[in-house]
Structure 1
Amino acid sequence: MPLPPSSFLSAWSAGFAVCLSLIVAIGAQNLMVLRQGLLRRHVGASVAFCTVADVTLALCGVAGVARVLEGRADWAAWLSAAGGMFLLGYGALALRRAWRGGSAAMADGAGTARLRTVLAQLAAFTLLNPHVYFDTLVIIGPLGARQPGVLKGVFVAGVGSASLLWFAALGYGARVLRPWFARPAAWRVLDAATGGMMLGLAAWLMAGARL
């Protein structure tokens, strides 16, 4: 018996809503995409990477990978420790830029950051964050797994739509803030806020690792 059109809309809406509710928050990945938008560097690639990462993790969750991770507290601990170390280093670099005012100079120039460097940083922010696995494998995954048949795919499509919408708005909408960031002091404020948040997250992750 064919499914009614309302079932497809309901499954898509469920995936869209749960993903958007989880990713609309200030975090390392979001700040990275915002920064690329302000600098006008590799914005499309950054948005695409984050969207593909969310869809891939959602697919894994719906397919039942979350069950494989159950009971592996040691994996979670090592992941938290690695994420904490990465955020510690990145936070220190952000505070250094805030002190020296390096970001304003970077924004004025043609830009030297290569695409692979930007994607490597985004990969670290995404994959070394334990919360991304909790969100996509523990929350999104089981919700999508409840959908019957082909609606599992429709649910994941909703997740991808929300992810694409959010990161595109974050990356391309950053141009609205460019007049404010024309002042070097604004970049220092952003770097200082980013660095402080990264160090706080690093301390929290490493404290919870308990290796």
Structure 2
Amino acid sequence: MMAAAIAGFLLGGTLIIAIGAQNAFVLRQGLKREHVFVLCFICALADAMLIAAGVAGLGTLVKQAPFLLKFITAGGAAFLFAYGLLAFRRAAFPGVLRAGDGGPLSLRTAITTVLAFTFLNPHVYLDTVVLLGSLSARYDGVDRVAYGAGACIASFTWFFSLGYGARLLSPWFARPTSWQALDTIIGVIMWALAGRLLWDLL
């Protein structure tokens, strides 16, 4: 059982740590210290739900519904392009990017944004539901549950480490130019991911 849990933890951690739109958003909110706990919990819980669905056998259904992934891909690409545009706009005006300045995201907006980053990304379904779900077939009974639990623990560990660990970078981000650099990187990531989604769609 322990071996299965460790295997799930390692694979889940490897898939989650990859730089993506969701991670970039959590990092930025962690630096601003806005709604950190809620956002980290939502991201980790969403992953846990998708992992559980995959381990329970939903991965096979997703494979048989390519039209669903195409719909999610198109919506995700549009959302990523729009958010990337906003990031480039923030980068163009670094003077308004100080963590203590006005204009913080409301809790509702932050939650809506992170849910969009999570569920409009078709790769999250491929990683959690399909890949982790398919690999869980190697285990039976308690070991299979332990494998899924290990992957879920990896998700909680990563998102809370990212959200609260961002505070260690606060001294560097006291300068507007640092926010400018971060938002430029975020914009590039968003547009690169949007381009990749459109490439997959076409």
TM-score normalised to structure 1 length: 0.90
In the alignment, structure 1 segments of 5+ residues that lack a partner are: 1-7
Q: 2:184 aligned to 176, 187, 192, which one?
A: 192
Aligned partners of 1:75, 1:92: CA distance in 2, in Å?
26
User: Match for residue 48 of structure 2?
Assistant: 55
Aligned partners of 1:13, 1:67: CA distance in 2, in Å?
24
Q: How many residues align?
A: 202
Q: 1:89 aligned to 82, 85, 107, which one?
A: 82
Aligned partners of 2:167, 2:201: CA distance in 1, in Å?
38
Aligned partners of 2:113, 2:61: CA distance in 1, in Å?
27
User: Match for residue 119 of structure 2?
Assistant: 127
Q: Which amino acid aligns with 2:94?
A: G
Q: Which amino acid aligns with 1:138?
A: V
User: What RMSD, in angstroms, separates the aligned Cα atoms of the two structures?
Assistant: 1.5
User: Match for residue 66 of structure 2?
Assistant: 73
Aligned partners of 1:44, 1:119: CA distance in 2, in Å?
11
Comparing 69-78 and 57-66, the one that deviates more: 69-78
**Offset, 1:103:** 5.2
TM-score normalised to structure 2 length: 0.94
Aligned partners of 1:160, 1:65: CA distance in 2, in Å?
16
- Larger C-alpha radius of gyration, 1 or 2? 1
User: Match for residue 4 of structure 1?
Assistant: none
- Residues 156-194 of structure 1: CA deviation (Å, up to 9, x unaligned): 211121111111111111111111100000001111111
Comparing 165-174 and 63-72, the one that deviates more: 63-72
Which contiguous aligned blocks of 4+ residues in structure 1 show a shift greater than 4 angstroms?
none
In the alignment, structure 2 segments of 5+ residues that lack a partner are: none
Q: Which amino acid aligns with 1:10?
A: A
